[in-house]
Amino acid sequence: MSRLGNLGARLYNGEVGYDFIGKRMIWYGVSILITITAVIGLAVQGLNMGIEFKGGAVFTTQKVDVSVADATAAAESVSEHIPLVQGLGNGGVRIQISGVGTQEANEVQKGLAEALDIPASQINADLVGPSWGAQIANKAWTGLGIFMILVVIYLAIAFEWRMAVAALIALIHDITITVGIYVLVGFEVTVGTVIGLLTILGYSLYDTVVVFDSLKEGQKGVTKQTRFTYSEIANRSINSTLVRSINTTVVALLPVAGLLFIGGGFLGAGMLNDISLSLFVGLAAGAYSSIFIATPLVADLKERDPQIKALRQRVLAKRAAAGARDESAGSGEGSGRDDQDDEPREAGVGSPGRHRGQGSDKRR
């Protein structure tokens, strides 16, 4: 078995683990800081909206013996706006200029033909009105709202309302991080970006539901035992699915990275680049939120339940009594101590897997 497989088995059996729930305030703080930064950046700088939302013209040439730098200089010389120039795989160039009307677009087309020393017929001009972009944005917001409502209803039925609330917060968290990256780095927001943002919601939910399903199984009969608190069971659920979450995220990120760095970087595919960029950021944010945000939020909400509070008190009281017996036993050699009373600490790393191993050693 590989090292990763070994680690996965040990995580699943509770032999090793990380205290995600106990250190949740750190991750909450990181997410809050990112959210505040994104909101401030959005208010001060705003998003760099693409031509689809602001309106303008896109000029595409056939194969020309002109570099991107020369095409950029030519576009700047014939237009008062800052152009966005991309090289195309067929040897042509794509020149995007925002805020250009019909009359000005005709003049820019003629000026580009003279500056690039090519016939004007070899330059295709496409005008984009801002009203079209506004319609796309409105439809995207409508779709997002419907999606969120359906997600909450489904998760509340399939799991419980606390998990539905936690998943909704995690989704908003993922969108906020992705938008924050676009604001801070200055990436252009296009229709492809909107498509990517809507797509990552499904990926984000996938990882979250995997952990929730493990937690749903682990919490059966939770109030009838005194070995673990609910937070410890939640922590174990995260650890038991951690390797699976990492594997699925890496496998999903690899082809997206190929689209982003090869398709966008080498082939100059504009729309493909926009979609893959939002997917790449959103997938990473979704994996983070499913582990560090969603399940800890469920534990926080669940610990407010009177039955779960009573369970915590019973578990801690039993451990305190076991500790008092150990102290009164003497030097701590543990000659008369039963392994079944050796309860895990609050971190939730201890588990039945370790108890089974210890018990089998005693029987041997």
Q: Confirm whether 364 is domain-assigned.
A: no
Say if CB 51 and CB 58 are below 8 A apart.
yes
Burial class (CB in 10 A: 0-12, 13-18, 19+), 65: exposed
Mean pLDDT of 238-248: 84
Q: Which of 103, 108, 60, 102 is nearest to 81 (CA)?
A: 108
- Are residues 112 and 232 both part of a single domain? no
Q: Confirm whether 355 is domain-assigned.
A: no
Report phi then psi at 98, rounded to 5.
Answer: -85, 155
Predicted confidence band of residue 135 (pLDDT cuts 50, 70, 90): confident
Q: Confirm whether 216 is domain-assigned.
A: yes
CATH of the domain at 31: 1.20.1640.10
Q: What is the pTM of this model?
A: 0.72
Q: Which of 331, 292, 341, 294 is nearest to 23 (CA)?
A: 292
CATH of the domain at 74: 3.30.70.3400
Q: Confirm whether 341 is domain-assigned.
A: no
Count up the domains in the chain and report the number: 2
- Are residues 42 and 61 both part of a single domain? no
pLDDT at 249: 85
pLDDT at 220: 86
Mean pLDDT of 144-170: 90
In Å, what is the CA distance from 196 to each residue of 187, 202, 256, 263, 283?
Answer: 14, 11, 11, 15, 10
Report phi then psi at 322, rounded to 5.
Answer: -65, -40
Instruction: Provide the domain limits for residue 65.
Output: 56-128
Q: Confirm whether 362 is domain-assigned.
A: no
pLDDT at 301: 92
- Are residues 166 and 150 both part of a single domain? yes
pLDDT at 337: 44
Mean pLDDT of 74-78: 78
